[in-house]
Chain A
Amino acid sequence: MSDRAVSPLAGAESSGFAKVSEAGLRGMITLRGDLADAGFAGAVKAVTGCDVPGRREVVEQGGKGVAWMSPDELLVMVPHAEAEAAVAQLSQALAGSHFLAVNVSDARAVFTIEGAGAREVLAKLAPVDLSPEAFGAGQIRRTRLAQVPAAFWLSGEEVFTLVAFRSVAQYVFDLLTVSAKAGSEVGFLAR
């Protein structure tokens, strides 16, 4: 019934010195287990085509991806319609071992922040060093975005993907929009 499925903000967009978009539904699976286990890695590879990323790393390819969330947790990303099947595939592959695979696609809201000022939009809200020297491609950062938890990474040179909880999607969108308001460039990260 995926045609009945709607993303939290129906793809809302805003533009200022960076473009903010709600990125629609994305399949996401919380996968917990022994990240060092070969069988575990194999199951992840089979579902996503990606290797298990290192600490605080993220890999994305062909609409799928894997992000390191904690020493015993990955976020597995697939197209939204494939999430249930991916959970089943993982569960089957890992049967017999101690693991947890649950579909969390609909518990999340996904945003993209695009443009030369994207780093400064986030730096107004998150206590993170967002200079290019400190934060580059392939890294994921779980942190605080104003008053809610969030995670973000670079999906392109000037494109951030940001994941937050679905219930606060509007709050996160409004935060990003006001922070990206034209004229309020800080000029510290991009000079």
Chain B
Amino acid sequence: MLILTCPYCGVTGEETEFAAGGEAHLKRFGPGSSDAEFESYLFARKNEKGVTFERWRHANGCGKWFHAARCTVTLEVFGTYKAQVTEPPKEILAAIRKRRPGWEPAA
């Protein structure tokens, strides 16, 4: 069972305090978008083995959504960050590269 740190309230809690919310940094496509764009938004998930960016909510806590950069193989957490961004912040990318030299985000 994972432990995560909520970047809003600062609580480091166990997984049962949080709720997982799927892949982070999806771009919403609404009316006027192509079928392919809409499919990419609603259905196509990277489901990466290794470094992954996820959405989490501090459900039994401050209620805020945040993002976690974590490894699906080792389960280590590179960092958590606030949800109001469209891509992982620099310090998170740096933290990942520190432990995974040469890692590049998937397209």
Contact = CB atoms under 8 A, between A and B. Distances in A.
Question: Is there direct touching of A and B in the complex, by C-beta distance under 8 Å?
Answer: yes
A127 interface: yes
Interface in A30-65: 55-56
Contact of A127 (B9, B13, B62): B13
Contacts of A56: 9-11
Contacts, number: 38
A56 B9 CA distance: 7
A69 B62 contact: yes
A142 B64 contact: no
Contacts of A142: 9, 11, 60-62
Contacts of B76: none
Interface residues of A, number: 13
A127 B14 CA distance: 7
B38 interface: no
Nearest to B7: A71
A70 B62 CA distance: 5
Contacts of A70: 8-9, 62-64
B17 interface: yes
Assign chain B's interface to a size class.
Answer: 10 to 19
A143 B62 CA distance: 8
What is the predominant secondary structure among interface residues of chain A facing chain B?
Answer: strand
A5 B59 CA distance: 31
Contacts of A149: 59-61
Nearest to B60: A144
A141 interface: yes
A71 B8 contact: yes
B72 interface: no
Given A127-B16, A127-B17, A144-B17, A71 B10 contact: no
B60 A55 contact: no
A128 B12 CA distance: 9
B64 A71 contact: yes
Contacts of A143: 11, 13, 17, 60-61
Q: Closest 5 interchain pairs by CB?
A: A144-B60, A70-B62, A127-B14, A142-B61, A149-B60
10 contacts: A55-B9, A69-B62, A70-B63, A70-B64, A71-B9, A71-B62, A128-B13, A141-B11, A142-B11, A144-B17
